[in-house]
Amino acid sequence: MWKKSLCLLIPCVLIAYYCYAPIPHEIEQHWELMMIWSFMRIQMHIAPLFEMLGFRPFPLLEILVVPPTSDENVTVTDTLFNNVPVRVFVPKQKSSTLRRAVFYIHGGGWVTGSAAWDPYDELGRWMVERLDAVVVSTDYRLSPQYHFPTQFEDVYDALRWFLRKKVLAEYGVDPTRICIAGDSAGGNLAAAVNQKLLNDPEIKIKVKIQSLIYPVLQALDMDLPSYRENSHMVIVKKQQMAEFWSRYFTSDKALLEAMVANQHTPVESSHLFKFVNWSTLLPERFKKGHVYTTPIHGPSELAKKYPGFLDVQASPLLADDSTLRRLPLTHILTCQYDVLRDDGLMYLSRLRAADVRVVHEHVEDGFHGILSFGSSLLNFRAGKREVNKYLKWLKENL
């Protein structure tokens, strides 16, 4: 009898382990979110095995890939911009005037994601239908096969190609109405390429808007209040974010271990902490009695071997004020239940201090990835609400 009970108990415990998540009561559709989270946890547990066998770490997510299918409203094409794969969405209806454009960069922790994933494909279609915009959704090579700065360079190469006058004219784009947008790791890349554009003498076109959706913006301090409060939150936990960051730069586990302990920045780079000091950059309501402690310095050898985590092209929050003050109108979306919340809030503070026009939307019942959860595939009410608000804002301001 006890053997049968044990056989029943073990699978029940495993199911509970994979399904349960400490989801705040403010977030709706608990059970749906827990089911999605359990699928993601299975992915994360089998990822090392696939990596060891030489495959991409998240093969099950390939079920999200959809072909470039045109319909009565939009022509969808997969092509190359300067040898970088992109998916282009163009309105079918003829226009007597030039159209606005959105250059979009997907998220996925630099390790997964694709412009061909169903939520990103649908977002591109919605932008065409509601904004009457041309949309370029770019891909980039992923870690662990490729490390920084490959992802940044791929996105920048595709963007520079798109911003050529000949290409904009081919797609009927108004060069004064261009937005560069991205979510999560894509928000990181959007912020980084916007900064680099400022000093590129070959690019004469000025971007009108940068839109950063729950962006990850710094790799120096992983002990922010948002990391503490949401360390075990669904979608992206503190441990996962450390893994995403470390994989972005190297497969060496030494960097991951140092990042998890928040002991990876060498003493000679301690001057950079002023750019990410949450005790001075976060609004009072987000400090919530947290006590700031200066991160413990790590060995210089790590920074010498993997200098990328100290590079402004990987951590846009490290940009100086002279760079920030030249940036365009900026839209930042943050979510309360997200380890990356404070990255966006600190960038918001720094941009406002540099007299940049910034529009901030904070989703009180939001979690990381909420816009993707508004897709027809996932069908979360809060996600649909936020997608509608986001597209309305873009239409009014781009």
Catalytic residue positions, numbered: 184, 338, 368
Residue 303 CB contacts under 8 Å (≥ 6 apart), including other chains: 264, 265, 266, 268, 269, 309, 310
- Determine the Cα–Cα distance for residues 159 and 138; give it in Å rounded to an integer: 9
Neighbours of 5 (CB within 10 A): 9
- Determine the Cα–Cα distance for residues 61 and 322; give it in Å rounded to an integer: 41
Q: How far apart are the first and last CA of the chain?
A: 68
Going by C-alpha positions, the residue among 366, 305, 314, 312 that lies closest to residue 335 is 366
Angle subtended by helix axes 118-131 and 381-397, to nearest 10: 40
- Determine the Cα–Cα distance for residues 45 and 51; give it in Å rounded to an integer: 11
Angle subtended by helix axes 150-162 and 185-197, to nearest 10: 60
Going by C-alpha positions, the residue among 1, 55, 42, 356 that lies closest to residue 210 is 356
DSSP output for 270-321 = GGGGGGG-HHHHS-HHHHTTPPP-PPPP--HHHHHH-GGGG-TTT-GGG--H
Q: Quick check: helix, strand or coil at residue 9?
A: helix
Pairing status of strand 358-367 against strand 329-337: parallel
CA 98 remoteness from chain centre: 29
- Determine the Cα–Cα distance for residues 316 and 309; give it in Å rounded to an integer: 11
